[in-house]
Amino acid sequence: SAGGTAAFVGEGSAVAEVNQTFAQVTMAPKTLGTFTDLSRKLIYQSDPSAEAVIRDDLLAAVAAKIEDVAIEGGGSNEPTGITQTSGIGSVAIGTNGGAPTWASVTALVKEVEQDNAALSNSQAFLTNPKVKHKLAGTAKVGSSDSVMVLDAPWNELYGYPMGITTHTPSDLTKGSTSGTCSAMIFGDFAQMMIDFWSATDVLVDPYTGGPKGYIRILVHQDLDVAIRHAQSFAACLDYTTT
């Protein structure tokens, strides 16, 4: 949590001892799950297999929720995601939010770099489709500039990869702008830890709904999310995109 330092000394003088300090990141299993009931007749008459389709869909739902909480989690029984982690860098547009700017993009990178918190080569931007659309239509410098903040090849920004997912929030509030602000994150994603206590458990239960002829498919996953170094991330939470 705090590294060592070094200093020059004169000839014949002893260098000083330093003591690094260490912190522990504690993670605890949090249970994510869902289920669906299928009738016997649906299973017997479906092609492709309704059971296989439902299994795939439930597993996709679990994966989507993991991505969602890794970005913004912090609710009841949820892991804490990037935007809810105390100590990450912050870039604000204005009292009531505002359109994304080139200056805000570079400021997100500065927030991480000035803390010497880019600890690997896994740095990237992360935002949602609304912000991507807005960046591609926003002049980089002046209003008459023909170069947009986001330009070809469309998946890079300020020299870093840019990921797009609808799980990056677009329903945030800033001042009088209620429920329509979007987020953009920059960080060293190698500093995000997602811990799984087991493989995804898929249980086919023919007993609970047995009297009615139903088969229940349940999915459980125990996991937690933690940010190893909060300073390795920065977020802007008040972009407006309309």
Residues 6+ apart with CB under 8 A from 232: 112, 115, 117, 118, 119, 187, 188, 191
For 50, phi then psi, to 5°, come to -60, -35
d(C-alpha 68, C-alpha 88), whole Å: 18
| Predicted local distance difference test score (pLDDT) of residue 119 | 80
Question: By the 8 A CB rule, do 182 and 239 touch?
Answer: yes
| Predicted local distance difference test score (pLDDT) of residue 118 | 84
Based on C-alpha coordinates, what's the Rg of the chain? Answer: 24
| Predicted local distance difference test score (pLDDT) of residue 116 | 87
In order along its 242 residues, the chain shows pLDDT tens digits of: 788 899 999 999 999 999 999 989 999 999 999 999 999 999 999 888 999 999 999 999 999 999 999 999 999 999 999 999 999 999 999 999 999 999 999 999 999 999 988 888 999 999 999 999 999 999 998 877 789 999 998 999 999 999 999 999 999 999 999 999 999 999 999 999 999 999 999 999 999 999 999 999 999 999 999 999 999 999 999 999 99
d(C-alpha 12, C-alpha 20), whole Å: 25
Exposed, middle or buried, 4 (CB in 10 Å: 0-12/13-18/19+)? exposed
Question: By the 8 A CB rule, do 223 and 194 touch?
Answer: yes
d(C-alpha 16, C-alpha 125), whole Å: 40
Written as six digits, the tokens of 111 are 């927030």
**Helical (H) or strand (E) element with 184:** strand 177-188
| Predicted local distance difference test score (pLDDT) of residue 112 | 97
d(C-alpha 231, C-alpha 210), whole Å: 53
d(C-alpha 154, C-alpha 147), whole Å: 13
Written as six digits, the tokens of 166 are 């609808």
HSE, CB side, 13 Å, CA atoms: give it for residue 232. Answer: 19
What Cα–Cα distance (Å) separates residue 146 from each residue in 131, 138, 141, 143, 158?
A: 19, 9, 9, 8, 17
d(C-alpha 175, C-alpha 191), whole Å: 31
d(C-alpha 27, C-alpha 88), whole Å: 19
| Predicted local distance difference test score (pLDDT) of residue 1 | 79
Looking at the DSSP assignment, which residues form a beta bridge with residue 125? Answer: 162, 186
Task: Report the predicted TM-score, pTM, of the whole model to 2 decimal places.
Answer: 0.89
Helices within 114-231 (DSSP H only): 129-136
